[in-house]
Amino acid sequence: MIFWTVLTGLTLLAIGFAVLPFLRPGARTRAVHRGATLRALYRQRVAELNEESAAGIVNPASLEEMEQELGGVLLKEFQPDVEVQNGERSRVWMAVGLVVPVLAALIYQQVGEPDAHVLQRGAEIIQLDPENDTLALDRWRNTLMQRVSNKPDDAESWYLLGHIYLKTSRFQRAAEAFAMAHGVFGNDLSIDLYWLQARYLAADGVLDNASRELAEGILSRQANQPVVLEMLAIDAYRAGAYQRAVGLLNRALSIPQDALQQAALLAGLKQARSLLGDLKPSIDVRLSATETPPPNTTLFVIARPVGGGMPFAVVRRPAHPLPDSIRLDDAVSMNPAAPLSTAQVIEVVARISLAGTPMAHPGDWEWRSEPLVLSEVDLTITLAANLKPPDG
């Protein structure tokens, strides 16, 4: 609609230029009146010369020469070629009036986007239901395929086309579309995340080396992206790397999830831990509280040097009604180069953080253990941590 409005405006403007010479007030009328006046003066002056010749004032022999000179003056003053030039100029303006809209259309087709308005509703695609909106998805697919065939560097159209293929379970085509969007736009978290999902589904839940590299690239920008962490955890689980699977699922659970997803991740964590067995040392922290934690708070369970310092192991969870049980071991180490098993003496801190950060703030609920000498631990240590408000 915008394109045709612009084109219509250009056409009207060009037509205006074409007819402008004909619409100037009195332009042609003044030219006609001036010519008629000059011709009348010429005839009047010739009549006067004839009268003067008859009266003997002008020599009859000179009469013809004087009439020719008078005619030359008339031609010079009248300049009938000016009217011809005006006619030529009018024809030029008319040509311009016809050519400008055509050129405008051709140029806009090359450098503009006559159908760009269709993408203004592109967000609809994300909301379409693959079961109930099949006709709409087909129309969008045809529209977007036409766009990318005409403009292969249209990253937005490739991205939306990828979503349509995902919704219609054409996972390989979706992966190709998101790859094209990535190739045009470069690293973008949303594009790369859907690209990874499409590759994962197209390979029946298997991550190849390229997909693993893509996943790690996403995590370098969003360290606890739960979808990517879950994919990598499943990949590690299938490979028998249960400790890595536990660590990845622990990170995924640090982000608030809906109840169903939270339950699925916890079930996966429990299964991976059962296959991993007990690492030494292992510390089970059984958590309880005197009352329900405030909403939108975060639970931290930390193994650290006595008095503070860089933690050896950390578990983070959205705070929810307790009791609960958290295990600290090398699988949830903060730094793989300095796991919990390398520590000598530690303390365990359980904290419900109002600010959502591991650093203590006024108003946090906190429990702290006595110093634990890990070098003397042969079995799993069990701690009971009862949390309460600071004024409780």
3-class state of residue 373 by DSSP: strand
Query: 199-216 b/e with 16+ CB inside 10 Å = b?
Result: bbbbeeeebeeebeebbe
* Average pLDDT value for residue range 47-57: 57
DSSP calls for 282-318: -EEEEEEESSPPPTT-EEEEEEEETTS-S-SEEEEEE
Higher-confidence residue: 100 or 161?
161
pLDDT, residue 121, reads 62
Whether residue 361 is predicted with pLDDT greater than 50 in this model: the reply is yes
Question: What's the pLDDT score for residue 256?
Answer: 87
pLDDT higher than 80, residue 144: yes
Share of the chain above pLDDT 70, in %: 68
DSSP, collapsed to helix, strand or coil, labels residue 319 as coil
- pLDDT of 252 over the 70 cut: yes
Strand partners, 349: 302, 368
**Segment 291-306, tens digit of pLDDT:** 888 888 999 999 999 9
- Give the Cα separation of 63 and 321 in Å (integer): 126
pLDDT at 72 over 70: no
Question: Quick check: 69 pLDDT over 70?
Answer: no
Condensed to tens digits (0 to 9), the pLDDT of residues 223-250 reads 989 999 999 999 999 999 999 999 999 9
For all residues of the chain together, what is the average pLDDT?
Answer: 79
pLDDT digits (tens, 9 = 90+) for 316-353: 998 887 889 999 999 999 998 999 999 999 999 999 99
Question: Could you tell me the pTM of the whole model?
Answer: 0.67
Rg over alpha carbons for the chain, rounded to the nearest Å, is 44
Distances (CA, A) of 185 to 156, 159, 182, 343, 371: 9, 10, 5, 46, 53
Indicate the pLDDT class of residue 53, thresholds 50, 70 and 90.
low
* Alpha carbon of residue 362 to chain centroid: 40
What pLDDT, on the 0 to 100 scale, is given for residue 392?
A: 54
Q: What is the pLDDT of residue 320?
A: 81
| For the chain, domain boundaries | 2-111, 119-222, 280-387
Highest mean pLDDT: which range of 11-20, 267-276, 350-359? 267-276
Looking at the predicted structure, is the pLDDT value of residue 145 above 70?
yes
Predicted pLDDT at 64: 60
Instruction: Classify domain 119-222 at the CATH topology level.
Output: 1.25.40
Per-residue burial over 310-346, b if 16 or more Cβ lie within 10 Å, else e, is ebbbbbbbbbeebebebbbbbbbbbeeeebbeebeeb
Q: Band of the pLDDT at 360, cuts 50, 70, 90?
A: confident
Q: Looking at residue 20, what is its pLDDT?
A: 44
What pLDDT, on a 0 to 100 scale, did the predictor assign at position 286?
96
Instruction: Give the model's pLDDT for residue 99.
Output: 45
Report pLDDT for 106: 41
Taken as a whole, the chain contains a residue count of 392
189-226 pLDDT tens trace: 999 999 999 999 999 999 999 999 999 999 999 998 99
Which pLDDT does position 380 carry in this prediction?
87
The per-residue pLDDT for 49 is 55
Give the 3-state secondary structure of residue 257: coil
